[in-house]
């Protein structure tokens, strides 16, 4: 016997709560199956599901209970108001990264007099930062790099689907720009920053389903920042902006690395909406 929508949602909430998963995930999964917006779903809670819909819902909720991310089942995640394709080859875009983009847009406006700027997103993953920056500021010339060929394929899919004209390079951090002698005005990056010791504390949703290459930043989580700070002086114009997403508690250490690379720069640590230090910017 099939359930009404409200009954299915109640079951999913209870099932996921028992397994310490997001109890609201059922709503997102049912929206996907029924191809409804949230407002439509809530307006139709007394409608019955078909057998096929109920079977699909039970299967998806069960898989999320086992740790499969909702985004991988749906195949997308929202970022800055746009839908991005996601899969196991890329990090699922998160709200903290939206804040990095927002601050970057503000700082670009304040720091530069000229409009024609060259920006690079290093370790682009799904392409969320690069695509969003290009669509929010179409006059930017935007590059995106990643070491992973599969991640770049996903980023290219997103840039094409959303109509963002971006130049992609496969390569290690800033190496493609050093090799091609390309100079940059703005560098943004959300690099791997989780210390290896924190592996055991990560949810199975993350550790079993997201690419390790995009998660871990060495013993203290700062390896990639060190390498970027060594490379940045070789690629930046004299007037430039650098913005990094960081792990909570890494603000002082990453700020010190940037200040060491650019002694004259104005370096600032910015907190996210929850009051945690999650971004570091350097105005050079």
pLDDT tier for residue 209 given thresholds of 50, 70 and 90: very low
Is 83 within any annotated ligand binding site?
A: no
> How distant is the alpha carbon of residue 217 from its chain centre?
16
Strand locations in 114-253 (E): 118-122, 141-146, 166-170, 184-189, 236-245
**Fold type of domain 87-283:** Rossmann fold (3.40.50)
Provide the pLDDT for residue 174.
Answer: 92
The pLDDT tens digits for 65-81 are 888 888 888 888 889 99
Which residues are CB-contacts of 87 (< 8 A; sequence separation ≥ 6)?
A: 72, 75, 154
Contact 107, 133 (CB under 8 A): no
Is 277 within any annotated ligand binding site?
A: no
Provide the pLDDT for residue 62.
Answer: 87
Please give the model's pTM, rounded to 2 decimal places: 0.84
Question: Residue 51, SS3?
Answer: helix
Provide the pLDDT for residue 222.
Answer: 81
Is 238 within any annotated ligand binding site?
A: no
3-state secondary structure labels for all residues of 60-83: HHHHHHCCCCHHHHHCEEEECCEE
How confident is the model over 75-91, as a mean pLDDT? Answer: 88
Fold agreement (5-66, 87-283) = no
Is 189 within any annotated ligand binding site?
A: no
Is 225 within any annotated ligand binding site?
A: no
Choosing among 2.40.240, 1.10.287, 3.30.70, 1.10.8, the CATH entry for 5-66 is 1.10.8
Q: pLDDT over 90 for what percent of the chain?
A: 44
Q: How many CA atoms are closer than 13 Å to the CA of 268, on its beta-carbon side?
A: 10
Beta bridge partners of 119: 142, 186
Is 260 within any annotated ligand binding site?
A: no
Is 97 within any annotated ligand binding site?
A: no
Q: Which burial class, exposed, middle or buried, applies to 189 when counting CB atoms under 10 A from its CB (0-12, 13-18, 19+)? A: buried
Cα distance between residue 131 and residue 81, in whole Å: 12
Domain residue limits, the chain: 5-66, 87-283
Altogether, the residues listed in the chain come to a count of 284
Provide the pLDDT for residue 73.
Answer: 84
Cα distance between residue 53 and residue 32, in whole Å: 10
Cα distance between residue 101 and residue 274, in whole Å: 16
Q: Name the more confident of 97 and 222.
A: 97
Is 193 within any annotated ligand binding site?
A: yes
The pLDDT tens digits for 256-284 are 999 999 999 999 999 888 888 889 999 99
CA dihedral of 105, 108, 109, 110, whole degrees rounded to 10: 120
């Amino acid at each position: 016997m099939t359930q009404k929508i409200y009954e299915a949602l109640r079951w999913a909430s209870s099932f996921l709560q028992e397994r310490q998963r997001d109890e609201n995930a059922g709503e997102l999964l049912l929206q996907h199956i029924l191809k409804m917006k949230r407002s439509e779903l809530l307006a139709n809670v007394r409608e019955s599901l078909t057998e096929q819909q109920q079977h699909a819902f039970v299967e998806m909720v069960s898989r999320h209970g086992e740790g499969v991310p909702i985004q991988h089942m749906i195949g997308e995640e929202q970022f800055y108001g746009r839908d991005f394709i996601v899969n196991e080859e890329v990090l699922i875009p998160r709200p903290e990264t939206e804040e990095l983009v927002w601050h970057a847009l503000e700082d670009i406006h304040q720091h530069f007099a000229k409009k024609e700027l060259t920006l690079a997103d290093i370790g682009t993953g799904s392409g969320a930062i690069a695509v969003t920056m290009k669509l929010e500021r179409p006059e930017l010339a935007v590059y995106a790099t990643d070491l992973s060929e599969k991640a770049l394929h996903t980023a290219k899919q997103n840039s094409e689907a959303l109509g963002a004209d971006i130049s992609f390079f496969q390569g290690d951090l800033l190496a493609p720009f050093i090799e091609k002698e390309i100079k940059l005005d703005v560098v943004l990056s959300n690099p791997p920053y989780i210390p290896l010791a924190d592996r055991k504390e990560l949810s199975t949703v993350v550790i079993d389903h997201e690419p390790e290459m995009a998660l871990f930043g060495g013993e203290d989580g700062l390896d990639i920042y060190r390498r970027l700070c060594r490379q940045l002086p070789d690629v930046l114009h004299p007037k430039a902006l650098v913005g990094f997403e960081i792990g909570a508690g890494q603000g002082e250490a990453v700020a010190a690395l940037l200040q060491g690379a650019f002694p004259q720069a104005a370096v600032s640590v910015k907190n996210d909406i929850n009051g945690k230090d999650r971004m570091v910017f350097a105005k050079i």
